[in-house]
Amino acid sequence: MNLNRHKNLLFVLNPIAGDIDKEDLKEDIAAICKEHEIEQEIYPTTGDNDKKALKKKLQENLYDGVYAIGGDGTVNLVASLLIGTTIPLGIVPMGSGNGLSKDLDIPQDTEEALQLIHTNVIRNIDTITLNGKPSIHLSDLGFNAWVVKQFCEGDTRGPGAYAWIALQEYLGYEPKNYRIVTDADTFEGKAFMVTVANANAWGSNASINPDGILNDGKFEICLIEPFPRTASIGILYKLYTDSIDTSVYTRILKCKRATIYNFNREVMHIDGEPVETAEVIEVEMHPKSLKVILPVPEQDV
Ligand SMILES: Nc1ncnc2c1ncn2[C@@H]1O[C@H](COP(=O)(O)OP(=O)(O)OP(=O)(O)O)[C@@H](O)[C@H]1O
C-alpha cells in the first residue's frame, strides 16, 4: 500500500456550515501543514459564485489535493470540480450532517480528520449525474427533498432543526407519481420518496441504501412506497438499523443508468442542496471518476 504525501493543498472552508465557528481551524491547518512542509491556501466560501472562483484557482495553481471543510453541500461543490481529474478530494466534516464523510469512514472528530493531511491513502469512487449535475452521495425526489428545501430556506442550521422540519412536514405530505426505467427494471406508481443513491446513509445516520458500494460501478434507486401512518415507526426503526431493504414498503432498483419521469415535478435535491426540478431526469453512472483522500486502513497502520 502506498501512502500519499501532499505538497500543495487548497482548503475550501464553508464558514456557515453546521453552525460551527471555524476561525481556530485556520491556525490548526497552517500549523499542521508547516510541520509537514506542505504549501497551503484557504478559500472561504461566500455562497455566491464559489464554483467559478474555485475553477479559476484550480487552473492557476498546481494543488495535489483539495479539502472541503463543511457539509455535503461543500463536498459536492469541491467534488464537482475534481471529478475526472487526478486531484483528490479530502473532507473535514463540519456540516449539519456530513453524510459522505461517514460513508467513507472519515473521522468525524475535527482533530482526527486533520491528521489525514499528512497520513492518508487515495482511492477512486464512483460518481453519478442527474441531468448532468454531479451527485457523489445521495439525491432525492419527494419527502426528504421537500424537508431539505425547507431546511435550506430556514434560518436555523444543525441536525435538530432538520429533524423538527421533517416531523412537521411528514404530517401533511402526499406521495407523488413516478415512472422509473432503468437498464434492469421498471417501476411505475406512487412513492413517498425516491432516493438516487451512490452511497448509503444520510448525515442523520438513517441508512436508505444499506448495501450500496461506492466503487462497484452501479447506483441504486431506493423507493419508499406509500405506507400507513401506523408503519412509520417501523420504517424509521429500519432506517436507523441498516435494514430498510427488508421493509415491505421499500423497493431498490440497482442499475447503471436510469430515466425518472417525475410526473408531478416534485422538488429534488442533490447531495443536500435543492436544485431546479425537472419532469424527466436522466441518471448516469461515472465509474471510479473521483479520487478521495481516506484514512489508512487499520490493518495497514
Ligand atoms: N459564506 C457563506 N454564507 C452563506 N452561505 C454560504 C456561505 N458559504 C457557503 N454557503 C452555502 O452553504 C451551503 C452548503 O452548506 P453545507 O451543505 O456544506 O453545510 P450544512 O448545510 O451545514 O451541512 P450538511 O450538508 O451536512 O447538512 C450552500 O448552499 C452554500 O451556498
Ligand 1-lining residues (CB < 6 angstroms)? 14-18, 45-47, 70-74, 95-98, 157, 203, 272-273
CA distances, 28 to each of 14, 32, 35, 247 (Å): 16, 6, 11, 45
Q: Are residues 168 and 60 located together in one domain of the fold?
A: no
- Count of the separate structural domains present in the chain: 2
ipTM: 0.95
Task: Compute the distance between CA of residue 295 and CA of residue 301 in angstroms, rounded to an integer.
Answer: 10
Residue 18 within a domain? yes
Residue 92 within a domain? yes
Closest CA to 185 of 130, 222, 156, 132: 222
Residue 171 within a domain? yes
Q: Are residues 47 and 98 located together in one domain of the fold?
A: yes
Q: Are residues 153 and 244 located together in one domain of the fold?
A: yes
Residue 282 within a domain? yes
Residue ranges making up the domain that contains 37:
8-125+290-300
Atom of ligand 1 nearest to the CA of 74: 18
Q: Are residues 192 and 280 located together in one domain of the fold?
A: yes
pLDDT score for 1:
61
Among 11, 13, 43, 45, say which to mutate for ligand 1: greatest number of ligand atoms within 8 Å of CB. Answer: 45
pLDDT score for 301:
62
Q: What's the gap in Å between 80 CA and the centre of ligand 1? A: 15
Task: Compute the distance between CA of residue 200 and CA of residue 179 in angstroms, rounded to an integer.
Answer: 23
Q: Are residues 110 and 144 located together in one domain of the fold?
A: no
Among 74, 77, 149, 156, say which to mutate for ligand 1: greatest number of ligand atoms within 8 Å of CB. Answer: 74
| Domain CATH code at residue 146 | 2.60.200.40
Q: Are residues 113 and 150 located together in one domain of the fold?
A: no
Atom of ligand 1 nearest to the CA of 19: 22
Alpha-carbon torsion 148, 150, 153, 155, what sign? Answer: negative
pTM: 0.92
Residue 14 within a domain? yes
Q: Are residues 276 and 147 located together in one domain of the fold?
A: yes
Residue 1 within a domain? no
Q: Are residues 157 and 65 located together in one domain of the fold?
A: no
Alpha helices in 83-129 (DSSP H): 99-103, 110-114
Closest CA to 91 of 203, 228, 213: 203
Enter the C-alpha cell of residue 44: 472561504
Q: Are residues 153 and 191 located together in one domain of the fold?
A: yes
Q: What's the gap in Å between 48 CA and the centre of ligand 1? A: 11
| Domain CATH code at residue 60 | 3.40.50.10330
Per-residue pLDDT of the chain (301 residues; tens, 9 = 90+): 667 789 999 999 999 998 889 999 999 999 999 999 999 999 999 999 999 999 999 999 999 999 999 999 999 999 999 999 999 999 999 998 899 999 999 999 999 999 999 999 999 999 999 999 999 999 999 999 998 888 888 777 666 777 888 888 888 899 999 999 999 999 999 999 999 999 999 988 999 999 999 999 999 999 999 999 899 999 999 999 999 999 999 999 999 999 999 999 999 999 999 999 999 999 999 999 999 999 998 776 6
Which region, left, alpha or beta, applies to residue 218 given φ > 0 means left and ψ of -120 to 50 means alpha?
Answer: beta
Q: Whose CA is nearest to atom 17 of ligand 1?
A: 73
